[in-house]
Amino acid sequence: MLCQKRKNTKKALRINGDKISSQYRAIDFFCGGGGMTYGLTQAGISVIAGIDIDKDAKETYEYNNQDATFILANVKHLRSNYFEKKIGVKKNDDNLILVGCSPCQFYSILNTDKNKSQKSKNLLKNFARFVEYYRPGFVLVENVPGIVSHKDSILPFFLKKLTDIGYGQIVSDIVDMSHFGVPQTRRRFSLIASRLTNVCIKLPVPDKKRALLRDVIGEENGFPKIPAGHKDITNFNHTTAGLSDTCLKRLSQTSRNGGNRLDWANDPDLQLPCFIGKNDCFKDTYGRMHWDRPASTITTKFFSISNGRFGHPDENRALSLREGATIQTFPKNYVFKTHSIAATAKLIGNAVPCEYARRLGKTICELNDNGTV
């Protein structure tokens, strides 16, 4: 495609007190606690609004993303002209980015309740309604890989809709975020689309080396040793879930730096009946993470050793809330305004990692005058 020059209409924006230039504005659908919003802001994009149905996300989002307006609403029930009427968003704005990282439990390979997630499996269809109404210059989407392969996926409809309404450039791939500065094996479907003919878009370029767990947690990275059940009442929130005596014994018998439940499989006092005769499956459950590998995918249950390989590499506990947030590349001063471990972990586990969001935004912000990145 021939890339032509485009106008440069930048406005002032401040990040960490530094004045930068930004020509782009974004609306973050399904924003949750603000991982995508924060990352886009760090890239130099002015996020004007975030929308989510989760009332528990509101305070966290607003506290950490004060230039954006949090809209507590069900996207299914939000009128297409809402942003036009309420915050002056214009149609056919070449510098507008609509972001749609809809809940993805239905398409996840994890053993979750698919009946419960049925209501959210077609949220991209609702997002497409806003894309069609506003026809922004750019569209960003992030979701689980299963949205590509699932037989009931909404993705084919969404892609056809983009093409039908004039989005001639669509780039997408399934990426491993450990190659994009995120220290976990988090595989996700990523998409950038544009209806503009004067830009040549692409996804972020992967790093040559993967980000590792050792790079971000541990005492040398500001995480003091703590026991299971530790309560951190400061905003740092280095809080861990408690463990039963039996689970503490299991972890104490699990080899440091990557051990798993097979280390105590032959101990009748520690082995669980559901694992008897199943040494070849579910080996991550009750396992410890490896220092010199990316962490396991951070889910909403990363605070529990019974829900995956979420044991600390050395200490007899699961990851703390702040460790999970750091693996998701939230900055250490990102404050989670919640009232329980489970609520905080939900915001963290469901988030788009901030660093990957920053890189997505950067690929757009660094469009040169000739339209390439």
The angle at the Cα of 342, spanning 152 to 179, to the nearest 5 degrees, equals 60
Q: For 184, list phi and psi in degrees, rounded to 5.
A: -155, 155
Encoded tokens for 157:
């409809």
- Helix, strand, coil percentages in the chain from 3-state DSSP, rounded to 5: 30, 15, 50
Residue 257 neighbours by CB under 8 Å, 6+ apart: 288, 290, 291, 313, 314
Amino acid at 331: P
What are the angstrom distances between the C-alpha of 263 and each of 243, 260, 273?
A: 18, 6, 15
Neighbours of 253 (CB within 10 A): 14
- CB-CB contact of 296 with 311 (8 Å): no
Is residue 13 classed as helix, strand or coil in its secondary structure? strand
Location of structure tokens 């698919």:
114
What number of other Cβ atoms are within 10 A of residue 213's Cβ? 26
- Two tokens, residue 191: 């998409």
State in Å, rounded, how far the first CA of the chain is from the last one.
Answer: 14
Write down the residue that tokens 């569209």 correspond to: 139
Cα–Cα distance measured from residue 247 to residue 133, given in angstroms and rounded to the nearest whole number: 53
Distance of CA 31 to the CA centre of its chain: 10
Structure tokens at 281: 């499956």
Gap between the Cα atoms of 150 and 69, Å rounded: 34
Tokens coding 212 = 């590792």
Nearest to 123 by CA among 142, 108, 101: 101
Token couple for 180: 């994009």
**The pair of three-digit structure tokens given for residue 146, joined into one six-digit string:** 């299963």
Active site residues: 104
